[in-house]
Amino acid sequence: MEPEQRERYVRWQNYRINQLTFSINLFLGFAVASLAYVINIKLNEKPGTINPDLLFPIYWWSASAVLGTVASLSRLLDFRYTARKIKDSSECDKKTAKFFGKATWVTFWMQVITYIVGGYVFITNVVFP
């Protein structure tokens, strides 16, 4: 790879890293805020009334928040083992970095999907029943 191409590759790789981190944090924030909103609605219900339609968004958005946390943690481990891989060129570190890199992307997309499903369930069951 030519020096100019390498420089562009490194620059765009940095953009990708920053954008993925931002996206994980964005959906994690959405999930926590949405979860707090639904729990607030649930707590303000009249005593003795049970709205089971509120339980499903709580489950989906809780799953999204958990997956966002797992994505953040796997991202940190990916950085750690990638740095070790560059430093030591250990085969174990290479495999571990590759595993956590894939785990980050899988958990990120699962986070997004569970948030969207929770939003859909909330809108169809609670907002517009």
Structural domain boundaries of the chain? 23-127
Q: What's the pLDDT band for 105 if we cut at 50, 70, 90?
A: very high
In the structure, what pLDDT confidence band is assigned to residue 43 with cuts at 50, 70 and 90? confident
pTM of the model: 0.88
Q: What is the secondary structure of 20-53 as a DSSP string? A: HHHHHHHHHHHHHHHHHHHHHHHHTSPTT---GG
* Alpha-carbon span 31 to 61, nearest angstrom: 5
- With 0-12 CB in 10 A as exposed, 13-18 as middle and 19+ as buried, what is 74? buried
Average pLDDT score over the chain: 92
Q: Is the pLDDT of residue 95 over 90?
A: yes
pLDDT band of residue 107 (cuts 50, 70, 90) is: very high
Q: Which two tokens stand for residue 42?
A: 């649930």
